[in-house]
Amino acid sequence: MKRIALLGATGSIGRQAVEIVERSPELELCALMSGSSSLDGLAAAHGVEHVQVGGSAAELLEASEPDIVLNAIVGFAGVEATLWALERGVTLALANKESLVAAGELALAAHRRGGGLLLPVDSEHSAIFQCLEGREPGTVAELILTASGGPFRGRSRADLEHVTVADALDHPTWVMGRKITVDSATLANKGLELIEAHWLFGVPYERLAVVVHPTSIVHSLVRFRDGALLAHLGQPDMRVPISFALTYPERAAVPTAPLDLAAGLDLRFEAPDGDAFPLLPLARAAGERGGTFPCAYNAANEVAVAAFLEGRIGFLEIAETVAAALEQVDGAPARDLDDLVAVDAAARRAAERRLVPA
């Protein structure tokens, strides 16, 4: 029996994870956490004793002694749980990409000390993880992340000036939480994933590429030095990477419809448009600068997305806010979590100042 601490249990990933656990006789929930929604019903249904709404994840994790932490919290709030699991060598199934973006160096150091498994739940990274399994690192030429392009693919910057919150939340291929859905519309999600891939796979940015693939059938690819490309194909169904991480290395069955290859697959690819979607090149630049620039990028993006969802700013101002905040931080590396929390808070303040009309 694997005991799972499910953090972010009421969210899009969290609910799909519950479904995977319910199907598997080898998995059980030992702890549940959410930000504000009640967990009473879920805890009662699964006989879970360790339950927490808001606050610090560490106490819950200490008390419940999980075999696996599934971190499906949204945003920087997931950092504490990521560092907790990595430091102790407890298997971390990571959906919360923001924690690896913000805490990259600290997380890697904790992972080295803890020596446990770090299994990506993000579909692209799960795909790359699987394409890389058993390969010699020296044979890998490039990791290629696919992006659906979101609801605004093909639009110019001018076309994006008046798009609404409802337009941005209308994702063509994936049904997800609101924050990541807006991130998919701005391509900040792919920017965060670029930085996530850098830390997960230890590959420098010049060997990380992004390609737009509107049907989300190819979840990502790896190019090897002999020119061979290995790709991971499947339905856009997050239950697959969630199940892969929770049942690794067994790979349990998932009741997803098989791809009908003979029906013809639409495997188009195109280059991302960095002018219309500047949050993608901004993320790459923040990643390359290193230090706490990625943490600041993430913090400012969280503030800007929340402001957009509240109707306080327009779509194009999300990127403008992040760019302005990045200019106000020094990006000095964080020595510990306290340092990082201070950097995150400073970047949030810088972003908030930008939101207030001058």
Binding stretches for ligand NAD (CB under 6 A): 8-14, 33-37, 54, 72-74, 77, 95-98, 122, 174, 176-177, 179-180, 238
Largest CA distance in the chain: 58
Q: How far is the CB of 42 from ligand NAD (least distance, A)?
A: 10
Residue closer to ligand NAD, measured from CB, 103 or 354: 103
Examine residue 122 and tell whether it contacts Mg ion (CB under 5 A): yes
Contact 220, 128 (CB under 8 A): yes
Of 147, 149, 141, nearest in space to 222 by CA? 141
Residue 249 preceded by cis peptide, ω within 30: yes
Question: What residue 128 binds from Mg ion, ligand NAD, none (CB within 5 to 8 A, per partner kind)?
Answer: none
User: Strand 229-233 relative to strand 218-224: parallel, antiparallel, unpaired?
Assistant: antiparallel
Contact 8, 34 (CB under 8 A): yes
- Least Å distance between CB 72 and ligand NAD? 5
The option from ligand NAD, Mg ion, none interacting with 321 (CB < 5 to 8 A, set by class) reads: none
Nearer to ligand NAD, 173 or 328 (CB): 173
Give the strands of the sheet with 140-147, arranged side by side.
208-212, 140-147, 218-224, 229-233
**Would you say 37 or 164 has its CB closer to ligand NAD?**
37
**With contact defined as beta carbons under 8 Å apart, do 110 and 87 qualify?**
yes
Report the nearest approach of ligand NAD to the CB of residue 97 (Å): 5
Give the DSSP letter string of 234-293: --S-THHHHHHHHHTTT------PPP-GGG------B---TTT-THHHHHHHHHHH-TTH
User: Closest approach of Cβ 183 to ligand NAD, in Å?
Assistant: 7
Residue ranges with strand state E in 35-90: 50-53, 68-71
Minimum distance between the CB of residue 16 and Mg ion, rounded to whole angstroms?
Answer: 14
| 98 vs 124 by CB, closer to Mg ion | 124
Cβ neighbours for 35, distance < 8 A, ≥ 6 positions apart: 8, 10, 53, 54, 73, 74, 77
Q: Which CB atom, from 111 or from 179, has the smaller least distance to ligand NAD?
A: 179
Q: What is the Cβ-side half-sphere exposure of residue 220, based on CA atoms within 13 angstroms?
A: 24
**Which residue lies nearest ligand NAD, judged by its C-beta?**
11
Q: Are 217 and 267 in contact (CB under 8 A)?
A: yes
Q: Which stretch binds Mg ion (CB under 5 A): 60-68, 122-130, 248-256, 261-269?
A: 122-130
196 binds Mg ion (CB under 5 A): no
Cross-sheet strand order for the sheet of 91-94? 50-53, 27-34, 2-7, 68-71, 91-94, 118-120
User: Nearest approach, Cβ of 98 to ligand NAD (angstroms)?
Assistant: 5
Number of residues that bind Mg ion (CB under 5 A): 3
Candidates 142, 112, 320, 332; CA nearest to 220 is 142
177 binds, among ligand NAD, Mg ion, none (CB under 5 to 8 A by kind): ligand NAD
Q: Which does 95 bind (CB under 5 to 8 A by kind): Mg ion, ligand NAD, none?
A: ligand NAD
Rounded least distance, CB 109 to ligand NAD, Å: 21
Q: At closest approach, how far in Å is the CB of 288 from Mg ion?
A: 21
Q: Please identify, using beta-carbon distances, which residue of 11 and 149 lies nearer to ligand NAD.
A: 11
Whose Cβ is closer to ligand NAD: residue 34's or residue 243's? 34
Of the two residues 122 and 344, which places its CB atom closer to Mg ion in the complex?
Answer: 122
From ligand NAD, Mg ion, none, interface partner of 287 (C-beta below 5 to 8 A by class)? none
Rule CB under 5 A: which residues touch Mg ion?
122-124
